Amino acid sequence: MPPRDDKTLDLLGWTPPEVQVWRSDEPDVRSASLRDRISRAVALTLRECSKTREELAEEMSAWLGEEVAKASLDGYASQAREDHTVSFLRLPAPCHATGDTRLWQLGAELFGKTVIDDADLPWVEVGRLAVTKEEIGKALDAARRTARRGGGR
């Protein structure tokens, strides 16, 4: 029996990476007001992160170059603190500190958009090209049918 080739990928064993798109209408975040959805999304992001709020506040402070207190994070995550919603200026900081971009997705959804990883952008373009190819194919078929009927003169 010949030795096994461990340099060649097993094409049948490959599965594409799963693309996960989070939506703010999921039960953990669903709420009547945008302010409440934001606070619930912040709370979910903080709860699911393996770092403590103190650690996150330190990382956010260092990244922003301004003090972010743990109490601020507690306020951002509290629906009861209507006076303490995370500002747009500070919104990237928890995304940076946790690696979780769901807070960006919440904002993007307001405009019918989706946040995706840069690595997935080429696949979006492939999808667009496939749609364009299909549209061009349909237009060519219609033009050929018209030409065969003598309508192209």
Condensed to tens digits (0 to 9), the pLDDT of residues 7-20 reads 776 767 767 667 66
Supply 55's token pair.
Answer: 């650690």
Cα–Cα distances in Å, from 105 out to 32, 37, 143? Answer: 17, 12, 42
Two structure tokens written together for 16: 């594409």
pLDDT mean over 109-131: 89
pLDDT, residue 19, reads 67
Q: How far is CA 90 from CA 58, 97, 129, 146, in A?
A: 13, 11, 37, 59
> 152 pLDDT band (50/70/90 cuts)?
low
Amino acid of residue 54: E
Residues 45-75 as b or e (16 or more Cβ within 10 Å = b): bbeebeeebeebbbbbbeeeeeebeeebbbb
Where do the domains of the chain lie? 21-115, 116-153
Q: What are the tens digits of pLDDT across the range 48-102?
A: 999 999 999 999 999 999 999 999 999 999 988 878 888 888 989 999 999 888 8
User: For residue 151, what pLDDT is reported?
Assistant: 62
Neighbour count for residue 93 (Cβ, 10 Å):
23
Confidence at 148, pLDDT banded by 50, 70, 90 = confident
Over the chain, what is the mean pLDDT?
86
